[in-house]
Structure 1
Amino acid sequence: MRATRIMANLHVADVEAAKSFYTDYLGLRTEEFNMGWVARYTSPDTGANVQLVTRDASAPENPVISIHTDDIEGAYEEALRLGYEIVHPITTEPWGVRRFLLRAPDGNVINIVRHRD
């Protein structure tokens, strides 16, 4: 699998309540999206970013990171072949991404994702 970007997913109780720390203090002022349960904030100067997550909308567990790839189908097949635990099967989500979640050998849940073109 080829990772094209890795994004931290920070668990928060409430995206709106947490927002000002990340936007005002850390300078991640650009809100790329906000779906209520997940929001991404980015620095307009550096491109540094983070996702705030309350509770994943469709998966049974929250991922700690999101790994973007350009070959989601290949990544899924490789994960199956290697015997990794699939936490959430490959799915095209209503918000447009195609993704699956797996458990890394260390126990962390990872979101493998491809955004629509």
Structure 2
Amino acid sequence: MKVNRVIPDITVDDIAAAREFYAGFLGLSSEEFNLGWVARFTSPDTGASVQVLTADATGQTNPVASVLVDDVDAAYAEAKEQGIEIVHPLTHEEWGVRRFFVRAPDGSVFNIVAHPE
């Protein structure tokens, strides 16, 4: 599996209220997207980013990070082969990504995701 990017996922009560801190104070002022339940704020200067989410739209739990990979199907097969707990099945989501969630041995949940090309 080739990891292209890891983005922290921070659970918040209200995305609009969180915007002032993440976009204002931290300078992550480019809002790459906002689906109402998840938004990504990115620095226009460095590309550093965080995602904030209230409650995942289809997953039963919020992940701690999103791991963008080159081949999500291969990553899913590898996770199954290694016996890693799948928390959310491999799914093509209506907002265009293909993803699944895994649980690390420490209990942290990760969103393993690929965007269409």
TM-score by length of 2: 0.98
- Asked if 1:107 is matched to 2:110, the reply is no
Match of 1:59 in 2: 59
How far apart, in 1, do the equivalents of 2:50 and 2:110 lie? Answer: 15
For the residue of structure 2 that corresponds to 1:5, the secondary structure is strand
Q: Which runs of 5+ in 1 are unaligned?
A: none
How far apart, in 1, do the equivalents of 2:97 and 2:74 lie? Answer: 16
Could you report, residue by residue, the CA deviation over 1:4-54 in whole angstroms, capped at 9, with x for unpaired residues? 100000010110011111111111110000011000000111111100011
Runs of 4+ aligned residues of structure 1 deviating over 2 Å after TM superposition are none
The residue identity in structure 1 corresponding to 2:52 is L
Match of 1:79 in 2: 79
Report the CA distance between 1:2 and its aligned residue: 1.2
The residue identity in structure 2 corresponding to 1:69 is V
Match of 2:22 in 1: 22
For the residue of structure 2 that corresponds to 1:24, the secondary structure is helix
User: Structure 1 vs Structure 2: percent identity of aligned residues?
Assistant: 56
Q: Which runs of 5+ in 2 are unaligned?
A: none
How far apart, in 2, do the equivalents of 1:94 and 1:31 lie? Answer: 20
How far apart, in 1, do the equivalents of 2:24 and 2:15 lie? Answer: 14
Match of 2:5 in 1: 5
For the residue of structure 2 that corresponds to 1:36, the secondary structure is coil
RMSD: 0.5
How far apart, in 1, do the equivalents of 2:49 and 2:91 lie? Answer: 25
